[in-house]
A = this chain, B = another copy of it.
Amino acid sequence: MTTTYRIAVIGGTGPQGKGLGYRFAKAGHSVVLGSRSAEKAGPVADEVTERLAGVEGAGSVTGAANADAIGEADVVLLAVPYDGHAELVESLPLAGKTVISCVNPLAFDKRGAHGRVIDGGEGSAAEEAQRLQPEATVVGAFHNVSAVLLWGEDDYLDEDVLVVGDVVEAKEVAMDLAEAVTSRRGIDAGKLRLARQLEPFTAVLISINRKYKTHAGVRISGV
């Protein structure tokens, strides 16, 4: 790994945010887990720190209120539920930041998981974040990684991280960070609007998980 990032994880006490924060810190990045209240973030940061005891070169993990977590961060990971997403994103000091959205707008009913329709099919959570924060640079990535495996025992996940965005330099950051999770660079999967495909693909993986009692992931062959 050549670059070490300072990463704020918004929604850092949820399973996806906590799991990714753990993996990033394990690989040497410094992480601030953000939550609605600093009181909630602190104990989760302590839990992750404890888990990293004895890991050589691990980065620091601290907790803070969401907006405070962003402070000095180079990179902000949005790992929040889609409910309340717009309101929260609008409230954050994201101008000038590289923002990675792994938000999955999903719905569940008796037929299983499926994608929520955003902007009549012509939108995604990542595009919404970009629209609400025009001075941030938003990319989409880490939508499909399994929270269970992130917090699990395997050194790396047997998955690929697909990265979409309209600014190459911001995609490169997410592709770098993917190495902490999969041991391989992330894959440049095209423009930000393709987040419309990556986000609800998680519903397909959830369906596979239910059918096969597993934690399925996406690998891309041929790259």
Q: Which residues of A contact B (CB under 8 A)?
A: 111-115, 117-118, 120-122, 146, 158-159, 162, 164, 187-191, 193-194, 196-198, 200-201, 203-205, 207-208, 211-212, 214-223
Instruction: Establish whether residues A212 and B221, one from each chain, have CB atoms under 8 Å apart when the complex forms.
Output: no
Partner of A190 from the list B121, B193, B204 (CB cut-off 8 Å) is B204
Q: How far is the CB of A25 from chain B (nearest CB, A)?
A: 24
Beyond the given pairs A121-B121, A205-B220, A219-B220, 5 more chain A to chain B contacts, judged by CB atoms under 8 angstroms and listed by A's residue number, are: A117-B122, A121-B122, A162-B204, A194-B203, A216-B220
Contact A190 B216 (CB under 8 A): no
Assess whether B208 is in contact with A200, with CB atoms less than 8 Å apart. Answer: no
Q: Which residues from B are CB-within-8-Å of A219? A: 218-221
Give the contacting residue for A222; candidates B189, B217, B223; CB below 8 A.
B217
Residues of B contacting A194 in the complex (Cβ-Cβ under 8 angstroms)? 114, 203-204, 207
Can you name the residue of chain B whose Cβ is closest to the Cβ of A188?
B211
**Complex alpha-carbon distance, A189 and B70, angstroms:** 38
B208 touching A204 by the CB < 8 A rule? no
Is there contact, CB below 8 Å, between A159 and B204?
no
| CB atoms of A197 and B201 under 8 A apart | yes
State in angstroms the CA–CA spacing of A196 and B198 once bound together.
12
Query: How many Å lie between the Cα of A196 and that of B199 in the bound state?
Result: 12
Give A116's nearest chain B residue, CB to CB: B121
Residue of chain B at shortest CB distance from A122: B117
Q: Known: A197-B200, A221-B217. Is A187-B162 also a contact (CB below 8 A)?
A: no
Q: Taking each of A111, A120, A217, A219, which has the highest tally of chain B beta carbons within 10 Å of its own beta carbon?
A: A219
